[in-house]
Structure 1
């Protein structure tokens, strides 16, 4: 299992547009990819799940992936977070 933490620094947090970008980034992978924030864990391939977390600025999120392409899935999430300037 691969895991990486990110601190959300965007003033808007993770709202609909970046959430969609994150979901789209991992949907092509076979690995199970989850997002943990605010004490809850959701499937990162579910836009409704990601939106339900209500991730705001200052939140630390943890992305986990388990499967044959887990490392690539984590790297894809990191690319989106950096490209969308969501966090570090």
Structure 2
């Protein structure tokens, strides 16, 4: 029996909100990541952060004009990425 193969979805963007990555979008992103069957990470400053870990996201101190990437890989990656993009475009750009 062959295993399922998932392709990674990637969304690169620059934080343009004067508040940077603040509590409200962090909570929303973490909530989506926790409910997803996919692995959701955020690449920033050469490292990766598990998006379901709100405390790690907040402690990264991501500010306005910082470049980040959301990466989603798993069985519901398309749906999860669309939900994450809605949060990003409404609260961080």
Paired residues in the alignment total 86
Which stretches in structure 2 are left out of the alignment for 5+ residues? Answer: 1-7
**TM-score scaled to structure 1, two decimals?**
0.90
RMSD (CA atoms): 1.1
Runs of 4 or more above 2 Å deviation:
none
1-structure distance, mates of 2:21, 2:62: 5
Mapped pair 1:50 → 2:57: yes
Please say if residues 33 and 39 of structure 2, whose CA atoms lie closer than 8 Å, have aligned partners that are also in contact.
no
Residue-by-residue CA offset, 1:16-53 (whole Å, 9 max, x unaligned): 22211111122211000000112221100110121121
**TM-score scaled to structure 2, two decimals?**
0.85
Which stretches in structure 1 are left out of the alignment for 5+ residues? Answer: none
